[in-house]
Amino acid sequence: MEENSNLGDAAEDGAATGHIFFKDVAKSHEQLDQALQGYKDVADKEEQRAAEAYQKLGAYKNSITNLRSPLQQISSQVKQLHSKMVKVLEADERERLEPLNSLEAKLEPESHELA
C-alpha cells in the first residue's frame, strides 16, 4: 500500500506542479499582453505624430507653391526697376561728363599742334 500512497503523492505533486505551471503561464501571458499593449500604444501615438507631420508638410508645400507667383512678380518688378535705374544712371553720367568731354574735344586739336 505504501507504493500506492507514493503514487498518490506523486500524482498530487504533479497536479500541484501543473497547477503552478499554468499559473505562471497565465501570469506570463498577462505580462506579455501588457507589454504588447504598451508597444501598440506607442505605435499608435507615433502613427498619429507621423500623420500630423505629413499634414504640416503638405500645408508647408501649399504655402510655398502659393508664394511662387507673387515672388515671380516681385522678381520681374525688381528686374524692371534695375533696368530703369541703369538707364537713369547712364543718362546722368553722360550729362555729368558732357562738360569734360566738350573740353577734351576743344583741347584735343591744340594738344596735337603742341606735339
Per-residue model confidence as pLDDT tens for the chain (115 residues) = 444 444 445 445 555 555 666 677 778 888 999 999 999 999 999 999 999 999 999 999 999 999 999 999 999 999 999 999 999 999 988 888 888 888 888 887 665 555 5
DSSP 73-103: HHHHHHHHHHHHHHHHHHHHHHHHHHHHHHH
Please tell me the chain's helix, strand, coil percentages from 3-state DSSP, rounded to the nearest 5.
100, 0, 0
Please give the torsion angle defined by the CA atoms of residues 46, 51, 57 and 62, in that order, rounded to the nearest 10 degrees: -170
